[in-house]
Amino acid sequence: MYQVTKRDGKVVEFEITKIAEAIRKAFDAQNRQYHPSVIDFLALRVTADFESKIKDDMIAVEDIQDSVEHVLAEAGYSDVAKAYILYRKQREKLRNMKSTILDYKDKVDSYVKVTYWRFKENSTVTYSVGGLILNNSGAITANYWLSEIYDEEIANAHRSGDMHIHDLSMLTGYCAGWSLKQLIQEGLGGVEGKITSAPAKHLATLCNQMVNFLGIMQNEWAGAQAFSSFDTYLAPFVKADNLPYDQVKKCIESFVFGVNTPSRWGTQAPFSNITLDWTVPNDLAELNAIVGGKEMDFKYKDCKAEMDMVNKAFIETMIEGDAQGRGFQYPIPTYSITRDFDWSETENNQLLFEMTAKYGTPYFSNYINSDMEPSDIRSMCCRLRLDLRELRKKSGGFFGSGESTGSVGVVTLN
């Protein structure tokens, strides 16, 4: 006596009548005439065909079905065999559909009652109507990824916990870095039917445009959005208008508070990252500064004092926190440490390391005793740094040139 292992792992008693019934349905589907004794004989042939596959008195249901196809084809019933194959595929499709159907009541209740572990998966998502919408749509999108895009082996590896595919709730790429220079040159626009803003002529306007840009792009990506050379590109606006420090700080405050406003799907703030050069990088030093989309009569290397003002304003704002003294989540700053870094006890150095000691907020990119330059690396988020030297080895680059870089997705191996 032997038993049958079903697809869900259950073990049932073997019944030859079930084989005969499946063969009978295949004959009926082709409108073929048959005698019951022929069906019984074919079913008996099937048992002989899979006998060698029986292990420890167990036979898998897939092995039985493979034998049905083989016996029908060998017996000359090729059309019936095709009908049986089609029947198997239809049954498989129905099983897959059942596995992806969501219980809408359970899905909504699990969020409202905070009983589902995914509610705590992302600490930046606020319990809100927006969070509920993200929870519901994310479940549908995750099923689409696992059922329609990834193959069965990958989907099963994720479901079983062998690995974790991040951000399945979003049908898009992971993170992206954008050219702040391009925003300064062209302004904010390019979307048909939507408002277009001309290039910013003043620091306050640029800060507002950066907030809006990061919020817009965050809705199209699952992960962080990044700007590089933040202080280098902002400094010329300070110089052009001869802004006093208090005005610079107000502009930077508006930027920091703006990017921490929950304007992203799921009632989240845009996940933003900025890289600050601290000293003017070599690849920008000799370029004419750009303000209002136009080149100025001075270069970026002439704006070191203004860079210091931008850095001081940013760090002071981050140290002070919000109205209740809480530290800001965003933007996550990355500082480039090069041979030109001034290690003396300057005011900005003291502020930088005070912020580091208080919050552990910034990341530091160490280029001392390295063959890399700050322009070679783009920090996208807490998980990703891209080496542009590797991108340049590819013809045309993966995501274009310079700052316009990004990543497709993130996977954690458990």
Summarize pLDDT for 198-246 with one digit per residue, the tens. 999 999 999 999 999 999 998 889 888 989 899 999 999 999 999 999 9
At the top level of CATH, the class of 175-413 is alpha beta
So where are the chain's domains? 3-99, 104-162, 175-413
Checking if the pLDDT of 393 tops 50, the result is no
Region 263-282: what's the mean pLDDT? Answer: 84
Confidence of residue 401 (pLDDT cuts 50, 70, 90): very low
pLDDT for residue 400:
34
Nearest Cα residue to 121 out of 106, 105, 139: 139
pTM for the complete prediction? Answer: 0.71
Confidence of residue 375 (pLDDT cuts 50, 70, 90): low
Checking if the pLDDT of 174 tops 90, the result is no
pLDDT for residue 396:
38
Region 341-363: what's the mean pLDDT? Answer: 90
- Measured CA to CA, the distance from residue 87 to residue 301 in angstroms comes to 73
* Least confident span in 143-152, 287-296, 298-307, 371-380: 371-380
Contact predicate 124/96, CB 8 Å: no
Confidence of residue 397 (pLDDT cuts 50, 70, 90): very low
pLDDT for residue 205:
97
pLDDT for residue 133:
84
Region 380-389: what's the mean pLDDT? Answer: 50
The residue ranking higher by pLDDT, 390 or 265, is: 265
The residue ranking higher by pLDDT, 133 or 375, is: 133
pLDDT for residue 398:
38
pLDDT for residue 316:
97
Confidence of residue 129 (pLDDT cuts 50, 70, 90): confident
pLDDT for residue 327:
92
Backbone angles phi, psi at 208, to 5 degrees: -65, -40
* Least confident span in 164-173, 341-350, 399-408: 399-408
Region 359-367: what's the mean pLDDT? Answer: 82
pLDDT for residue 387:
52
Checking if the pLDDT of 118 tops 70, the result is no
